[in-house]
Amino acid sequence: MLPWFNMQDQDFEEILDRLPEELPILPLRNTVAFPFIVMPLAVGIQRSVELIEEVERGNRLVGLVAMEDPSVEVPGPGEVYQVGTLAIIHRVMKGDHGTLTVFIQGLERIRIQEWTQEKPYLMARTELAPDITEESLVEEALRRNVSDIAVQLAYLIPQFPDEAASFIEQLEDSRLLVYLLASNLRVGVEDAQKILELDHLTDKLQFLGEVLAHELEVRQIGQQIQERAKEEIDQSQREYYLRQQMEAIREELGEDDEGLREAEEYREQIEKAGMTEEAKEEALRELKRLEKMPPQAAEYWVIKTYLDWLISMPWQKATEDQPGIEHAHVVLDEDHYDLDDVKERILEFLAVRQLRLEREEELEEDQSTLLQGRPIEGHGAILAFIGPPGVGKTSLGQSVARALGRKFTRMSLGGMRDEAEIRGHRRTYIGAMPGRIVQAIKRAEVKNPVFMLDEVDKIGSGWRGDPSSALLEVLDPQQNHAFRDHYLDVDFDLSEVLFICTANTTTTIPAPLLDRMETIRLDGYTEYEKLHIAQKYLVPRQLKVNGLRPAEIEFPEEGLRKIIRDYTREAGVRQLERQIGKSCRKVAMQVAAGDVEDVVLVNAEQAHEFLGKPRYRFEAALRTERPGVATGLAWTPTGGEVLFVESAIMPGKENQLILTGKLGEVMRESARIALSYVESHAEELGVDGELSKGKIHLHVPSGAVPKDGPSAGITLVTALVSLLTKRPVNSDIAMTGEVTLQGQVLPIGGLKLKVMAAHRSGIKKILLPKLNEVDSDDIPAEIRKDIALVLVEDVNEVLAEALGASSTA
């Protein structure tokens, strides 16, 4: 900005007398013009050049308004602010390529009333909008405050001349002070426009004072940072010179160098660490570099940290496995109830691993001819426990470690998106660290721990890489004997580590990664199993956690069954343990208050008092008491679920189908197939007249939960037939199965989990595909005693069971 100059009152009045009815408007980019202020403008747009040339030939008056969006190349009436400044052109200088440099002075605020022209340049009807002044004590106080802040700010800005501060102090015109400071100090375009648009001078002073106070605080903090940095640099230089003098004194006195002693200690530790040849060579090479560096060098500590990591790794340290499968069987039985199939598969895995290790030399000799002399790498597959939450996947891994007598370490992979968390960061980065695999091995202090990788199905991927791809090398027995972390940059043998992965589902695990695992499924527990788990494991653990004695609280069988049925509905036992813990806390509070004289029996009534109203109840009877509702079964990564299919018919376009409940594409197709089957067999089903009444609406409740898959086919058909025949579905029946256009019932997956969910919900009869008969052997015997499994091949069989007389188990 150029210095302002004073214009005589008569000159100002003469100019205002020449103010035309319509005024040419010049949009300003990233600039706000103020009254009284002289400023140069660079004009390059052809439209603006024509405007300036026209105004220069006329009365030299022009309206200056700021653009709302500076990125617009040629702004229109709706892209500029409506309050601007009336200015007069003092001088125009022509530049290169048709550009102009225009010196203008602001005269007064104007407000645009109406736009009258857009081409060749903007013109508008305007009115003068002088500032409203009061000449009050408040205005004087605000002026002095702004003046004081501006003087302090002027001393902190190097570009300001020394006379600027004294000039600001002497300036008594509040209006001129506002516009002068707003145009010359660091005020953003939006704040500057707000200052221009405020009508009252006191409001302008108030807002400008806040803006300048913020800028003053930023400048003061910046100055403190610069002074602190200068002091630190001076201190570092002083320490450097002192150290140089100390080294010279030591050399004169013949004293041993501390750095030499430290290097010798590192050399001894490297020899004792049992590193591989590659790692030892790298460590010694880095040690030579360390000896030549002063401790003040930044890389000195980088190398030192790297050597510490290499030395601390368990290159040769390992625990000896406990011999005998019998011991492993005892440990698994002690830690986990039931799960016989899972335990058997784990014992098979451990037996094979033990034999391979015991007969490794013999096997290598026998296979050397087939492999043309190449050694056998790896010791078998990687175990993966797949099942709903709370079924004991992590604790099974701990039991395997206890059975083998190995140390246990774990790492959660849920939400991991950075490949460097597996492989580590290269040492070129500041603050680089090894990956979490190497860190966990270091914490275990042995090279053969049981390493659990939790939530392997929840690994993410992003621009930092794909962690699941990095895990391919870790979990491949043919490759992990030479795992190379980016930070260590030497091979480390992971082949003796027993990796165990856990996941809720295999659908989200990448196929190459899943191919390297041997999956063991844990489908969940029955009520009988949960009861025994609670009595044997959960209750004693919660008594210990809550500081209670067995003589103070007891959980009889009826109380535990009440908790299992009315307060939990899960495949695992995590929620069950929480409810037992909640009951224990209630008793602990009574014991602490001295209100307990005898043992507290948590029976059915007491459980209701401690835990409140039941969270779950048998909904099938209530839901299916009206025609058009059928009970189905679904599979989710957290276990089986019971779902309900509702249907309704209403006036509208015939054969129109409405689907709601956040259904996936496959399930929507199943609904269309179900309706097509009913339409094609309408006469046979006795619903011919009902279908012509209007449109049909199918809804699956819990609308916020996505649902997909073909297994609800027969449920959809049953709900439609129930609606059209006005016959309710038997309340104690649930069903699952895919349906075809011909009415055949096709097999489905996840049968065991679905049947267990039905059992938890009080269902007494389940209709399932005949082709799933082979899968029914997996269903626990105690559930098969309580539920009748009806095998069906055709929809007619389904309708006969579901819409017939009330069923019995």
Lowest pLDDT segment from 25-39, 488-502, 700-714: 700-714
Please enumerate in sequence order all residues whose Cβ is within 8 A of that of 609, keeping only pairs 6 or more positions apart, or say none: none
Mean per-residue pLDDT for 470-492? 85
| Mean pLDDT for all residues in the chain | 83
Q: Note the pLDDT of residue 630.
A: 92
Q: Which helix (H) or strand (E) holds 93?
A: strand 83-94
Q: How many CB atoms lie within 10 A of CB 223?
A: 11
Tokens at residue 29, please? Answer: 């980019």
Type of residue at 548: L
Mean pLDDT lowest among 145-159, 425-439, 554-568: 145-159
Mean pLDDT of the 208-217 span: 84
Task: List the structure tokens of 578.
Answer: 């929480």
Tens-place pLDDT, residues 140-159: 888 888 888 888 887 777 66
For residue 419, pLDDT beyond 70: yes
Contacts of 550 (CB under 8 A, 6+ apart): 543
Q: Tokens for 171, please give them.
A: 């300036």
Q: What's the CA gap between 243 and 227, in Å, rounded?
A: 24
pLDDT at 407 over 60: yes
Count of positions (residues) in the chain? 809
Report how far residue 643's alpha carbon sits from residue 712's, in angstroms, rounded to the nearest whole number.
Answer: 9
Residue 807 in this model has a pLDDT that exceeds 70: no
- CB 598: neighbour CB atoms within 10 A? 7
Measured CA to CA, the distance from residue 673 to residue 678 in angstroms comes to 9
DSSP for 726-787? T-PPPTTEEE--EE-TT-BEE--S-HHHHHHHHHHTT--EEEEEGGGGGGGGGS-HHHHHHS
Q: Which has more confidence, 540 or 263?
A: 540
- What share of the chain in percent tops pLDDT 90? 16
**More confident: 743 or 370:** 743
How far is residue 87's CA from residue 105's CA, in Å, rounded to a whole number? 5
pLDDT at 446: 92
Q: Name the token pair of 520.
A: 């063991």
The confidence score (pLDDT) of residue 649 equals: 87
**41 vs 320: CA distance, rounded Å:** 84
Containing 10, the helix (H) or strand (E) segment is helix 9-17
| Range with lowest mean pLDDT among 6-10, 50-54, 168-172 | 6-10
pLDDT category at 363 given cuts 50, 70, 90 is: low
pLDDT tens for residues 95-142? 877 788 889 888 888 899 888 888 888 889 888 888 888 878 888 888
Segment 623-628 mean pLDDT: 78
Do residues 501 and 384 touch, judged by C-beta distance below 8 A?
yes
Nearest to 410 by CA among 379, 455, 366, 373: 455
pLDDT at 204 over 90: no
Give catalytic residues, as residue numbers.
711, 754
Which has the minimum average pLDDT: 571-585, 622-636, 662-676? 622-636
Please, are residues 102 and 52 in contact by the beta-carbon 8 Å criterion?
Answer: yes
Burial 485-513 (b: 16+ CB within 10 A, else e): bbbbebebebbebbbbbbbbebeebbeeb
pLDDT value at residue 459: 83
- Position 372 pLDDT exceeds 50: no
| Residue 14 clears pLDDT 80, i.e. is over it | no
Q: Provide mean pLDDT across the span 686-690.
A: 76
Residue 22's H or E segment, with its range, is strand 22-28
Backbone angles phi, psi at 790, to 5 degrees: -105, 120
Q: What is the mean pLDDT of residues 419-431?
A: 83
* Residues 47-74, mean pLDDT to the nearest whole number: 84
The whole-number average pLDDT for the span 251-273 is: 73
Residue 30 confidence class, pLDDT cut points 50, 70, 90: confident
Q: What is the pLDDT of residue 641?
A: 84
pLDDT at 805: 47
Mean pLDDT of 337-363: 78
CA 518 – CA 352 distance, rounded (Å): 13
More confident residue, 730 or 321: 730
- The pLDDT of residue 620 is 55
Q: What percent of the chain shows pLDDT beyond 70? A: 90
List the alpha helices (DSSP H) in 612-747. Answer: 620-623, 665-680, 682-685, 688-691, 713-725
Pull the structure tokens for residue 733: 């029946």
Tens of pLDDT, residue by residue over 689-711, are: 777 777 889 999 876 778 888 99
Name 601's bridge partners.
Answer: 554
* pLDDT value for 13: 66
Residue 1 banded pLDDT, cuts 50, 70, 90: very low
- SS3 at position 289: helix
What average pLDDT does the segment 168-192 reach? 82
Q: Which DSSP letter does residue 630 get?
A: E
Average pLDDT (564-593) is: 88
User: Which residues, other chains included, contact 708 with Cβ-Cβ below 8 Å and sequence gap of 6+?
Assistant: 663, 664, 665, 666, 667
